[in-house]
Structure 1
Amino acid sequence: MNDYVPSLLLVMGHMHEGMSDHDFMHAEMDMAIKAEGMGYSAVWCVEHHFDRVYSMCPDNFVYLTYLAAKTERIKIGIGACILPWNDPLRVIEKVNLLDIMSKGRLLLGLGRGLSRMEYGGFGIDMSEARDRWSESYAMISAAQKTGFIEGNGAFWKQPRTEIAPFSGIPLEGRTTEIAMSSESQILAAKLGLKMATFVVSPMDVMAPQLHKYREVFEETHGTPAPPPMVCDMITIHEDEEEALRLHREAVGAYFFSLIKHYELAGNHFKDIKGYESYDAMAGMFKAAGMDRAAEAYVQSNLYGTPKTIVEKIRANLEVAGDYDMSTIFSIGARPYPQVESMMRMFAERVTPEIVKMRTKRFASTPQRSMRGANAGSSMPVTAA
């Protein structure tokens, strides 16, 4: 699989009126299975709880085990396992089991979580999130080196215990942090992790964050950073005006579910340790007004004809440098035949152009050779 081929991300928001949870889960899986035949490099799936409208997949290890059994080549992406909500012992056991059962195709994501509602459901103080993540990550990364997990921290008391089965595939060089704040992006760079982020602003606004990540990574480790991963909501159609109409309909609905789930119109972030920077984001949304903020969000993500989208990606690469794309097509209440049509059109008419332009511009750079050295193994890790 070419390094430059985009992946697919399942955000798992159920807004389909009259559709059961059973049918929704299988419809999403059907798109994931078809992604292999369309040539996508990986399928990622989120972990979220207690809110079917925004996103519901309480155990992406279980969900993606089914995908692994139904496919042969496509990478299997846990995007992400939220460490503060999961026992580190169980995480590392599931990592190794799924990696073995998928024959080395597992891509592991480790996240921190942002929803006060989800933390409340687990009875966990959200102010502990970053410390819980750091403690758990240290245990898991060490366990994958040694085959044993142990810990005596503030949150997990874990006697030295053997991991069985054990794949023996290390995590170093194959890790990604989901980094939406500048603090998380710098942390990813200092830890030597690949970073991933979601499109929430135009690329010229996001680009300085990507450049800062690369700068800190190279300063810390003496080697170029791997290409960041950028997750984009996409609407593709032969008609430009229809693409915008469909984009506003689906991505706009998703935006309002996101605002509600994370309480981004609230004032609570400033009082939660580790989340203070999100108070500024919430303030911008409130200052702009939610309708204007929704339209800005819609415009920041990708829509248009195949030709238009190719040119937008070309422009984004010009300002942001090389990055990997993770595409999102199943958004809002978008009908599944339309989702499949968009996935296929993108794969057939946009992906080849992405591969060509990235190969021409970035194939000889050190970051690409670094990534190529790691591409044969699995389990990149993402943290929020």
Structure 2
Amino acid sequence: MRFGLLYEHQLPRPWTGDTEHRLFKEALAQVELADSLGVDYIWEVEHHFLEEYAHSSAPEVFLAACAARTKRIRIGHGVVLAPPAYNHPARVAERIATLDLISDGRVDWGTGESASRVELEGFGVDPDQKKAMWAEAVEQTANMMTMNPYPGFQGTFFAMPVRNVVPKPLQKPHPPLWVACSRRETIHAAARAGIGALTFAFVDPAEAAKWAHEYYDIIRSEQCVPIGHAVNANIAMVTGFSCHEDGAEARRRGSEGFQFFGYSLGHYYVYGHHQPGVTDIWQRFEAAKDKLPPAGRGSGIGTPTELTEHLRQYREAGVDQVVFIQQGGRNKHEHICDSLRLFADKVMPVLKADQAARDARKQAELAPFIEAALTRKRRMPPAATSAIPTVSAYGRNVVQADQATEGPTHHIAADIAVMMNDPAARKNKAPAG
């Protein structure tokens, strides 16, 4: 089993002048510690305008900082919002590839649609169309990372001409693809698309076993038709986190933060009424928290012994990765670091003891099904060289552009001199045309 950390960058009110600065610096320190301890993944969300719940609106910046400070931990977008109004597919391809190069091939590319009204309406995304937007954008972004040049596209939600999207990622054909899932149906859709299920559904091991079984049954079936150019057969599930030798202290340190995560999630996605810049979610949470279900045993909160037993059940259920929400509510930085150290010392060695052998068995068992799935992939035809148009630079007429293709003439030399800010060249340059 592998383990990851999920960052929303939660920041309950009240805020002071340096709270966001401290939040990000502490998160970077936690990621550095996790890397040194052998934690497998860091996952960073993308959300917009979700005050208190998630101040992570530029995950590519945070993850680049993580990549620069770490050596081995996987750098996961959990997730990039795919509708083009959030992120143009070409910009996603460029950013993912650049991050993959910077991190020496450690990127995982999680994708999602977005679901909150605050975000969707803020960017003018039609909620009835967002699933179709996701499918179109993700497939074309994968094509952009793998095709040289990308042959252009006239779609329902975006269009672009022939271009070679650079750079290309270090991982070939592209970094592992995931999709955010909160329902059983989305997990099935992930399997049909041949991508990892990054599951934000808090289910017990018995329910997780059903979901994992169904997911891998679809991966093995003819229903699996990859949306990307590789199959990433993996299930990750999210839970809370706090580890202490004293179970009561683990719950005291970690339960409130996990409760706030759930409450603020519900505020933006289910039952809340929000006035931007006005509503105080933490104040509402404090008024309601005594009525909320406790976050204790059954999550990633407890003693090393409790966590080992609970997480072993998920491993036997077929879950490949457990992702911890350790930075929630007002959880303290020092408590998070203490929990990570204890978990790495007492729990991870037990659950990772036979990881290599499990990986090898899984890879061998799934290999023929993945190969068959890739033969069903509907591939975009490449652009014929004769069909790739020449793009002439602005500021040159057609005659000059034609001359430029024949070799370095005096026109080109004069243009270069002007661009290099040569005063004499500017004075003597004849008007274009």
TM-score norm. by structure 2 comes to 0.73
AA aligned to 1:162 is: N
| Separation (CA, whole Å) in 1 of partners of 2:291 and 2:120 | 26
| Separation (CA, whole Å) in 1 of partners of 2:178 and 2:73 | 18
| Separation (CA, whole Å) in 2 of partners of 1:185 and 1:296 | 27
Say whether 1:153 aligns with 2:155: yes
After superposition, the Cα gap between the structure-2 partners of 1:171 and 1:188, relative to the gap in structure 1 and judged at 3 Å, is farther
Say whether 1:311 aligns with 2:309: yes
After superposition, the Cα gap between the structure-2 partners of 1:145 and 1:8, relative to the gap in structure 1 and judged at 3 Å, is same
| Separation (CA, whole Å) in 1 of partners of 2:186 and 2:295 | 21
AA aligned to 2:233 is: P
Q: Which runs of 5+ in 2 are unaligned?
A: 226-230, 274-287, 371-433
AA aligned to 1:129 is: K
Compute the displacement of 1:179 (Å). Answer: 1.8
Aligned-partner SS, 1:34: helix
Q: How does 1:262-301 map to 2 (within 5 A)?
A: 262-264=269-271, 294-295=292-293, 300-301=298-299
After superposition, the Cα gap between the structure-2 partners of 1:169 and 1:365, relative to the gap in structure 1 and judged at 3 Å, is closer
Q: Which runs of 5+ in 1 are unaligned?
A: 267-289, 375-384
After superposition, the Cα gap between the structure-2 partners of 1:42 and 1:241, relative to the gap in structure 1 and judged at 3 Å, is same
Say whether 1:140 aligns with 2:141: yes
| Separation (CA, whole Å) in 2 of partners of 1:293 and 1:225 | 40
- Structure 2 match to 1:112: 113
> Comparing both structures, which one devotes a greater share of its residues to helix?
1
Q: Could you list the runs of 4 or more consecutive aligned residues of structure 1 that deviate by over 6 angstroms after TM superposition?
A: 290-293
After superposition, the Cα gap between the structure-2 partners of 1:205 and 1:23, relative to the gap in structure 1 and judged at 3 Å, is same
The answer (yes or no) to whether the contact 1:92–1:144 under 8 Å persists in 2 is yes
| Separation (CA, whole Å) in 2 of partners of 1:143 and 1:186 | 26
AA aligned to 2:205 is: M
| Separation (CA, whole Å) in 2 of partners of 1:292 and 1:159 | 57
Q: Computing the radius of gyration over CA atoms, which structure comes out larger, 1 or 2? A: 2
TM-score norm. by structure 1 comes to 0.81
Aligned-partner SS, 1:25: helix
Q: How does 1:13-52 map to 2 (within 5 A)?
A: 13-15=10-12, 17=14, 18=16, 20-52=19-51
- Structure 2 match to 1:287: none
Compute the displacement of 1:82 (Å). Answer: 0.7
Structure number with greater CO (CA < 8 Å, separation at least 6) is 1
- Structure 1 match to 2:348: 351
After superposition, the Cα gap between the structure-2 partners of 1:321 and 1:75, relative to the gap in structure 1 and judged at 3 Å, is closer
Q: How does 1:1-384 map to 2 (within 5 A)?
A: 4-15=1-12, 17=14, 18=16, 20-84=19-83, 85-149=86-150, 150-167=152-169, 169-171=171-173, 174-220=176-222, 221=224, 226-264=233-271, 294-295=292-293, 300-318=298-316, 320-356=317-353, 362-363=358-359, 365-367=361-363
RMSD between superposed Cα atoms in Å: 2.8
> Comparing both structures, which one devotes a greater share of its residues to strand?
1
After superposition, the Cα gap between the structure-2 partners of 1:257 and 1:245, relative to the gap in structure 1 and judged at 3 Å, is same
The answer (yes or no) to whether the contact 1:225–1:367 under 8 Å persists in 2 is no
Compute the displacement of 1:198 (Å). Answer: 2.4
After superposition, the Cα gap between the structure-2 partners of 1:37 and 1:337, relative to the gap in structure 1 and judged at 3 Å, is same
The answer (yes or no) to whether the contact 2:253–2:335 under 8 Å persists in 1 is no
How many residues align? The count is: 344
| Separation (CA, whole Å) in 1 of partners of 2:56 and 2:347 | 29
Aligned-partner SS, 1:43: strand
